[in-house]
Structure 1
Amino acid sequence: MFERELLMIPGPTNVDPRVLRAMCKPPLSHTSLEFASIFKEALDNLKKVFMTRDEVFVVAGSGTLALEMAIANIVEPGDKVLNTVSGYFGQYFVEISKVYGAKPRVLEVPWGKPVKPELVKEALKEDDYKAVTVTHVETSTGLVNPIKEIGEVVRKNSNAFYIVDTVCSLGGMEVRVDDWHIDICVSGSQKCLGVPPGLALVAANSRALEHVEKRKASVGSWYGSFKNWLPVMRDPTKYFATPAVNMIYALNEALKLVLEEGLENRFRRHFILAEAFRTAMEALNLKLVAERESAANTVSAIYYPEGVDDNQFRNKMKEHGIVVAGTLGPLKGKGFRVGHMGNVNQNDIFATIAAIESTLKRLGCKVEIGKGVAAAQEKLLSLTK
């Protein structure tokens, strides 16, 4: 057993020591000026990462809570919602929409393939939808959907609210909330931002907040209502429910790290490491679940060679001190997922590739040890000249 395992799963991700130290500070009174100053700084920094001038919300809970807050505040019973589904987590919006009384129209594409903007355009002709939901990075398949282009389609062809799940992309891939016409953008703390699990993150524009004020039915969630949280987000000395004080310390420190690195530099790092990893998998004749041109820079899903047992593979990876995740839904047992996001560096990528080579070899696969690592190094060199 390793004292510290290398988490190469799609979240939670490895946490920087600066973030851990910040989180370990004694809690302050949640309504004190001292804590309000830290909370306000975190909110301001979060706006920079979301690339928005509008409101952001930080609430104790998981990324799934953020998805639910988006639907709860926009959707009223009987509303029609266009839910795009390209994998396991896109279905979450469908289920949440049902809970809040909506009538979902599911636009589903095969796992590993992106939602094309023209499909959304055609679907918008069918009905008058209150909202359109899209998952930016589908964590179950390692796929990225073209949220910028879909946003343009939604804005030009409807009055629907555009809701985007960036749980597996915010802080690791480009997300421009204002420029891409996103009304509500949701995320979580535990993936690209490198914070432990525990915070739901939401950006909501003035159009969305005005709708909440004017809607006929009351918001179906007390804890998740924007109306209840907005006064706190504008003045953190105000009280609605006790915030996760130490988690907000951690978030603030992590956002400082993100901004110190620079968003463009961070996006570039994620791209380079993802390309190196994908190139290594191809060199080992391992197939990605996602189409290559639509592969995300934060997570990859890879099919096993024939005959490889899922539990055996992941258990032997743990013997190297490296944790990878299994695949989900209809792909369960057929592959594994590797998160290459947050604070992941070159050494982490090379160690993971080497462990994959060794593990497959031990399980009887025909693998040339070092071939994947060498391919990754060559790709890395070509991208960092």
Structure 2
Amino acid sequence: MKEVLLIPGPTPLPEEVRASMFKDMIDHRGHAFGELLDRLQFKLKRVFMTSRPVYIFPGTGTGALECAVSNLFSAGEEILSLSNGSFAERWAEIAQRKNLNVDVLQFPYGEPWDLNLLEEKVKSKRYAGVLLTHNETSTGVLNPLEEAVSLIRSLSPDTLICVDAVSSLGGAPLKMDRWGLDAVMTASQKALMSPPGLALVALGERAFNKALTLTSSSYYWDIKLADEFLNKSPSQTPYTPAISILYALDRALTLLLEEGLENSWDRHRELARFLREGLRAMGMDILPKEEFASPTVTAVKVPQGMSPSKIKKALESKGVIVAGGMGPLKDKVFRVAHMGNVSKNDIVIFLNALKEVIESV
């Protein structure tokens, strides 16, 4: 029985993306690798919707977030972190470990940012940077990023706006240059339909110029070093790259761009709608209000008297793999991802399996 994988990363791969990883290894200081990096730059700029370079590191989404704070801020600088879930909390902790002074503006899990409270906070202090989690994977909330950025920019034009787009890029609208985002971070294994193993970091001109004035607190995540090697001829990375995963990302980005970004956004919204209609037909509901519900992952409330872990285990016995809740939601929800290479048929299989599980309890 083939498993249906519906966790929020790693996500299922298109067959041709998997096949692309079996190519031969190449010299990572040679012209063939330089051409691969150049192709990736061209495609990633289109997906991030930016004219700026996108730096590719072997790593994860968490690593990409650490890269941002390691290069853009110095110890003691004032940072504002908007938190309404476990992954936003993680980013705040990363910043705190870098000895930044982090103010956490906390919102309830399952609720979006309150822009009125954000306005009060930004007016209260001058912040060097704001950390924004676009799509909170732990709760299934898509935060009002464009509106928040516009508000912050109007009140504090010099504040660097840093965005965790790990579970949104490719699956939800995000327009880096048009929205005035200073740093956007993501990873390969979610809506980009690629294997885990790549951290992707894009810096706007203002953020990059600030990075040039600082000494990164990390050698591994040093943007200046990455930029220096990217601008060599042929293009390179500072240290050994994950060549097989770069092959996969190259093919996956071609598929995404052939589909078209807006079509991909629409497909993710439609899958989310289809899933939630099926859940509600069974008498189940989701954690956030529909208007702020994520197009890439859904947090499903568990009916009273039922256990998320038992539902998850029962689904697994039927070949359907979902994710558990996180943090304070551990015993309240389970999570279903519908990002990347997930089909409507996958959702039908999940809904049928869930119906059997619910009826058997």
| Equivalent position of 1:45 in the other structure | 43
Q: Return the letter of the residue paired with 1:187.
A: T
Q: Is the 8 A contact 2:107 2:114 kept in 1?
A: no
Partner in structure 2 of residue 135 of structure 1 = 133
Aligned to 2:297: 299
Deviations 1:286-321 (A, max 9, x none): 121112210000000011111222332112211221
- Asked whether 1:206 is paired with 2:205, we answer yes
* Overall identity of the aligned pairs, in %: 37
Q: In the alignment, is the contact (CA less than 8 A) between 2:38 and 2:235 conserved in 1? A: no
Partners of 2:237 and 2:338 lie apart in 1 by 37
Q: How does 1:305-320 map to 2 (within 5 A)?
A: 305-320=303-318
Which residue of structure 1 aligns with residue 168 of structure 2?
Answer: 169
For residue 223 of structure 1, what is the amino acid of its counterpart? Y
Say which of 265, 268, 282 aligns to 1:267.
265
Contact residue 301 and residue 332 of structure 2 kept, 8 A: yes
Q: Secondary structure at the match of 2:178?
A: coil
Letter in 1 for 2:229: V
Unaligned runs of 5+ in 1: 365-385
Aligned residue runs from structure 1 range 33-112, under 5 A: 33-112=31-110
Q: 2:230, 2:237 within 8 Å by CA — same for their partners in 1?
A: no
Deviation at 1:239, TM superposition (A): 4.7
Whole-Å separation in 1 of the counterparts to 2:117 and 2:25? 49
Residue in 2 that maps onto 1:381: none
SS in 1 for 2:176: coil
Q: Which amino acid aligns with 1:109?
A: F
Query: Is 1:232 matched with 2:229?
Result: yes
Segment drifting more, 31-40 vs 164-173: 31-40
Query: Residues 144 and 239 of structure 1: is their aligned pair in 2 closer, same or farther, counting only changes over 3 Å?
Result: closer
Q: Say which SS state the counterpart of residue 200 (structure 1) adopts.
A: strand
- Choose from 32, 37, 40 the match for 2:30: 32
What is the number of residues matched between the two proteins?
Answer: 359
**What does the per-residue CA deviation read over 1:28-81, in whole Å, with 9 as the maximum and x for residues that have no partner?**
111110111112101210110000001211110001000001111111011000
CA deviation vs aligned residue, 1:220-257 (integer Å, no higher than 9, x gap): 11110111101233345445111111110011000000
Q: What secondary structure, in the 3-state scheme, does the structure 2 residue paired with 1:179 have?
A: helix
For 1:144-182, what per-residue CA distance to the aligned partner results, in whole angstroms no more than 9, with x for missing partners? 001111111121111210000010011111110001111
Distance in 1, matches of 2:5 and 2:248, equals 18
* Superposed CA RMSD: 1.1
Q: Quick one: which amino acid aligns to residue 181 of structure 2? A: I
List aligned pairs for 1:251-290, cutoff 5 A. 251-290=249-288
User: Match of 1:305, SS?
Assistant: coil
Give me the whole-angstrom Cα distance separating, in 2, the residues matched to 1:267 and 1:40: 25
Flag the 1:239–1:196 CA change in 2: closer, same or farther, 3 A: closer
1:372 aligned residue: none
Q: Say which of 319, 342, 359 aligns to 1:344.
A: 342
User: Residue type matched to 2:165 in 1?
Assistant: T
Aligned residue identity for 1:138: E
Of 111, 114, 118, the match for 1:113: 111
Report the 3-state secondary structure (helix = DSSP H, G, I; strand = E; otherwise coil) of the residue aligned with 1:89: helix
Q: In 1, distance between residues paired with 2:250 and 2:82?
A: 32
1:7 to 5, 8, 22: 5
- Provide the rounded CA distance (Å) in 1 between the counterparts of 2:51 and 2:237: 23
Contact 2:134 2:164 in 1 (8 A): yes
3-state DSSP of counterpart to 1:285: coil
- Determine the C-alpha separation between the residues in 2 that align with 1:169 and 1:340: 11
Amino acid paired to 1:207: R
How far did residue 355 of structure 1 move?
1.0
Query: Which among 193, 205, 219 is matched to residue 216 of structure 2?
Result: 219
The 1:266–1:238 alpha-carbon spacing in structure 2 relative to 1, beyond 3 Å, is closer
Answer whether contact 1:187 1:202 (CA < 8 A) is retained: yes
Moved more, 225-234 or 157-166: 225-234
Which stretches of structure 1, 4 residues or longer, exceed 4 Å deviation after superposition?
none
Distance 1:294 1:316 in 2: 29
Note if contact 1:112-1:289 (Cα within 8 Å) is conserved in structure 2: yes
What is the TM-score when the length of structure 1 is the normalising length? 0.91
CA contact (8 A) 1:43 1:58 kept: no
Deviation, 1:117, is 2.6
Task: Please give the alpha-carbon distance, in whole angstroms, between the structure 1 residues aligned to 2:350 and 2:231.
Answer: 43
180-189 or 35-44, larger mean C-alpha shift: 35-44
Deviations 1:103-159 (A, max 9, x none): 001001000100133322211111110100111110000000011111111211112
